[in-house]
Structure 1
Amino acid sequence: MRTDTTSYTVRLSPDGPWAELDAWGPHGCEDGPSAFDWSRRTHFLTSADAAPAEYLPYGMRPFTGSDLVASRSGRERGVWWEFAGAEETEGSLRLAFTDDVLGLRTVLCYVTVPGTDVVLRWTEHTCTGGEPLRLERFDSAAVNVPAPDGVRLTYLAGQWSQEFQRTQLDLRRGTFTMGSVQGVPGHAYAPWLAVQDRTAPQDGPSPAYGVALEWAGNWHITAEAEPGGAVRVRAGRVPHEGAVLLTPGDTLTTPRLACAFSPDGLDGLASVQHRYGRRLSGERLHRTRKVLYNSWEATGFDVDAAGQLDLAKAAADMGVELFVVDDGWFTGRTDDTGGLGDWYPDPKAFPEGFETFVAEVRALGLDFGLWVEPEAVSPGSRLHSEHPEWVYRIDDRPARLVRNQLLLDLGREDVQDFVVGTLDRLLTTYDISYLKWDMNRPPTERGRPGAGPADRTDLDAAHVTGYLRVLDHLRTAHPHVTVEGCAGGGGRVDHATLARTDVVWPSDNTAPLDRLRIQFGFLHAHAPHVMSSWVTDAPGVFDPRPRSLAFRFVTAMCGVLGIGADLRAWNPEQRAEAARWIARYKEVRDVIHHGEAHLLGTPDDATCGVQYDAQDGTRAVVAAFSTGRLDGAPLVPGRAARLRLRGLDPAARYHAPHTGAAYTGVHLLHYGLPFTWTARHDAELVELVRQ
Structure 2
Amino acid sequence: MAIIIDEQKKLFTLQTKSSTYQMKADKYGTLLHTYYGAKITPFDMSYLIVNGDHGFSGNPYRAGNERTYSPDTLPQEYSCYGSGDFRPSALKIRRADGSASTELVYDSYQTEDGKYSLEGLPALYLNEGEQAQTLIITLKDESDTVRVHLYYGVMEEADIITRAAVIENTGSQPFHLERAMSLNLDFLSGSRDLITFHGKHAMERQLTRNPIHPGIQSAGSTRGASSHHYNPFMILAGSDTAEDFGDCYGFSFLYSGDFLGEAEYDQMDQTRIVLGIHPGNFNFKVEPGAAFTVPEAALAYTSDGLSALSRIYHNAYRNNLCRGKHKKTRRPILINNWEGTYFDFNGEKLVSMAKEASELGVELFVMDDGWFGNRNDDNTGLGDWTVNEEKLGCTLKELSDRIHGTGMVFGIWFEPECISEDSSLYRSHPDWALKVPGKAPVRSRYQLVLDFSREDVREHIYSQLCSVLDSARIEYVKWDFNRSLSDIYSAVLPADRQGETAHRYVLGLYDMLEKLTSRFPDILFEGCSGGGGRFDAGMLYYTPQIWCSDDTDAIERLKIQYGTSFGYPVSAAGSHVSAVPNHQTGRVTPLSTRAVVAMSGTFGYELDISKMTAAEKSAVKEQIKDFKKYYFLIQDGIYHRLTDPFTDDRYCAWEFSDQDGRTALVNVVNTRTAPNPSTVYIRLKGLCSSALYRINGGQEQYPGSALMNGGLPLPVPSAEYESWQFYLTAE
State the TM bucket, normalised to the shorter chain. over 0.9
Aligned mate of 2:212, from 165, 171, 181 = 171
Q: Which residue of 2 aligns with 1:74?
A: 97
What is the 5 A alignment of 1:137-216?
137-148=179-190, 150-198=191-239, 200-216=240-256
CA distance in 2, matches of 1:432, 1:285: 18
Aligned mate of 1:596, from 629, 638, 646 = 638
The 8 Å contact of residues 21 and 36 in structure 1, kept in 2 or not, is answered as no
* Equivalent AA in structure 2 for residue 24 of structure 1: Y
The 8 Å contact of residues 662 and 688 in structure 2, kept in 1 or not, is answered as no
CA distance in 2, matches of 1:100, 1:376: 46
* Equivalent AA in structure 2 for residue 643 of structure 1: I
The 8 Å contact of residues 71 and 102 in structure 1, kept in 2 or not, is answered as no
The question of 1:655 aligning with 2:694 is answered yes
Q: Which residue of 2 aligns with 1:607?
A: 651
Q: Which residue of 1 aligns with 2:383?
A: 341
> Which is worse superposed, 138-147 or 187-196?
138-147
Give the 3 Å change call, closer, same or farther, for CA 29–570 of structure 1 in structure 2: farther
What is the 5 A alignment of 1:434-513?
434-455=476-497, 458-513=500-555
Aligned mate of 1:232, from 261, 264, 272 = 272
Cα distance, 1:580 vs structure 2: 0.7
Q: Which residue of 2 aligns with 1:24?
A: 36
Give the 3 Å change call, closer, same or farther, for CA 241–648 of structure 1 in structure 2: closer
Aligned mate of 1:672, from 711, 719, 722 = 711
Q: Which residue of 2 aligns with 1:84?
A: 107
CA distance in 1, matches of 2:176, 2:508: 23
CA distance in 2, matches of 1:561, 1:35: 53
Q: Which residue of 2 aligns with 1:564?
A: 606
What is the 5 A alignment of 1:42-121?
42-46=54-58, 47-90=70-113, 91-101=133-143, 103-121=145-163
The 8 Å contact of residues 151 and 172 in structure 1, kept in 2 or not, is answered as no
Cα distance, 1:566 vs structure 2: 2.1
The 8 Å contact of residues 311 and 638 in structure 2, kept in 1 or not, is answered as yes
Q: Which residue of 2 aligns with 1:352?
A: 394
1:61-119 per-residue CA deviation (whole Å, 9 max, x = no partner) reads 43222211113122421112332111134522111111252611111110022531211
SS of equivalent residue, structure 2 residue 85: coil
* Equivalent AA in structure 1 for residue 135 of structure 2: L
* Equivalent AA in structure 2 for residue 354 of structure 1: L
CA distance in 2, matches of 1:305, 1:243: 48
* Equivalent AA in structure 2 for residue 26 of structure 1: A
* Equivalent AA in structure 1 for residue 152 of structure 2: Y
The 8 Å contact of residues 23 and 30 in structure 1, kept in 2 or not, is answered as no
The 8 Å contact of residues 18 and 56 in structure 1, kept in 2 or not, is answered as no
> Which is worse superposed, 643-652 or 156-165?
643-652
The 8 Å contact of residues 23 and 32 in structure 2, kept in 1 or not, is answered as yes
* Equivalent AA in structure 1 for residue 255 of structure 2: W
CA distance in 2, matches of 1:625, 1:400: 42
Q: Which residue of 2 aligns with 1:2?
A: 15
The 8 Å contact of residues 558 and 623 in structure 1, kept in 2 or not, is answered as no
Aligned mate of 2:619, from 569, 577, 583 = 577
The 8 Å contact of residues 6 and 261 in structure 1, kept in 2 or not, is answered as yes
CA distance in 2, matches of 1:305, 1:659: 47
Q: Which residue of 2 aligns with 1:617?
A: 661
* Equivalent AA in structure 2 for residue 246 of structure 1: V
CA distance in 1, matches of 2:497, 2:48: 38
CA distance in 2, matches of 1:251, 1:414: 24
SS of equivalent residue, structure 2 residue 576: strand
1:224-269 per-residue CA deviation (whole Å, 9 max, x = no partner) reads 1123232110011125654221100011010101111111221111
CA distance in 2, matches of 1:290, 1:551: 21
> Which is worse superposed, 541-550 or 531-540?
541-550
SS of equivalent residue, structure 1 residue 669: helix
Percent identity over the alignment is: 28
* Equivalent AA in structure 1 for residue 203 of structure 2: Q
What is the 5 A alignment of 1:259-298?
259-278=299-318, 279-282=320-323, 284-298=326-340
> Which is worse superposed, 552-561 or 267-276?
267-276
Q: Which runs of 5+ in 2 are unaligned?
A: 1-13, 59-69, 114-132
> Which is worse superposed, 582-591 or 455-464?
455-464
> Which is worse superposed, 101-110 or 571-580?
101-110
Cα distance, 1:350 vs structure 2: 2.0
Aligned mate of 1:223, from 263, 272, 275 = 263
* Equivalent AA in structure 2 for residue 676 of structure 1: P
Q: Which runs of 5+ in 1 are unaligned?
A: none
Q: Which residue of 1 aligns with 2:176?
A: 134
The 8 Å contact of residues 396 and 471 in structure 2, kept in 1 or not, is answered as no
- Relative to the length of structure 2, the TM-score reads 0.90
The 8 Å contact of residues 35 and 146 in structure 1, kept in 2 or not, is answered as no
The 8 Å contact of residues 558 and 610 in structure 1, kept in 2 or not, is answered as no
> Which is worse superposed, 2-11 or 244-253?
2-11
The 8 Å contact of residues 573 and 602 in structure 2, kept in 1 or not, is answered as yes
Give the 3 Å change call, closer, same or farther, for CA 622–61 of structure 1 in structure 2: farther
Cα distance, 1:456 vs structure 2: 5.4
* Equivalent AA in structure 1 for residue 21 of structure 2: Y
CA distance in 1, matches of 2:410, 2:217: 45
1:564-618 per-residue CA deviation (whole Å, 9 max, x = no partner) reads 1221211000111111111101001111111111111111322232211212433
SS of equivalent residue, structure 1 residue 329: coil
Cα distance, 1:688 vs structure 2: 1.4
Q: Which residue of 1 aligns with 2:722?
A: 682
Give the 3 Å change call, closer, same or farther, for CA 40–94 of structure 1 in structure 2: farther
Cα distance, 1:500 vs structure 2: 0.8
> Which is worse superposed, 262-271 or 178-187?
262-271
* Equivalent AA in structure 2 for residue 42 of structure 1: H
CA distance in 1, matches of 2:657, 2:31: 40
> Which is worse superposed, 615-624 or 419-428?
615-624
Give the 3 Å change call, closer, same or farther, for CA 590–107 of structure 1 in structure 2: same
The 8 Å contact of residues 296 and 564 in structure 1, kept in 2 or not, is answered as yes
The 8 Å contact of residues 650 and 666 in structure 1, kept in 2 or not, is answered as yes
CA distance in 2, matches of 1:206, 1:163: 26
Across the aligned residues of Structure 1 and Structure 2, the Cα RMSD in angstroms comes to 1.8
Q: Which residue of 2 aligns with 1:412?
A: 454
> Which is worse superposed, 38-47 or 496-505?
38-47
> Which is worse superposed, 60-69 or 332-341?
60-69
* Equivalent AA in structure 2 for residue 81 of structure 1: L
Q: Which residue of 1 aligns with 2:65?
A: none
Aligned mate of 2:473, from 431, 456, 464 = 431
The 8 Å contact of residues 283 and 499 in structure 2, kept in 1 or not, is answered as no
Cα distance, 1:423 vs structure 2: 1.8
State the number of aligned residues.
Answer: 683
Cα distance, 1:404 vs structure 2: 1.1
The 8 Å contact of residues 323 and 544 in structure 2, kept in 1 or not, is answered as no
Q: Which residue of 1 aligns with 2:129?
A: none
CA distance in 1, matches of 2:100, 2:727: 61
- Relative to the length of structure 1, the TM-score reads 0.95
1:394-413 per-residue CA deviation (whole Å, 9 max, x = no partner) reads 11111232111111001100
Give the 3 Å change call, closer, same or farther, for CA 477–145 of structure 1 in structure 2: same
Cα distance, 1:655 vs structure 2: 2.0
Give the 3 Å change call, closer, same or farther, for CA 667–280 of structure 1 in structure 2: same
> Which is worse superposed, 451-460 or 161-170?
451-460
Cα distance, 1:533 vs structure 2: 0.3
SS of equivalent residue, structure 1 residue 352: coil
> Which is worse superposed, 179-188 or 32-41?
32-41
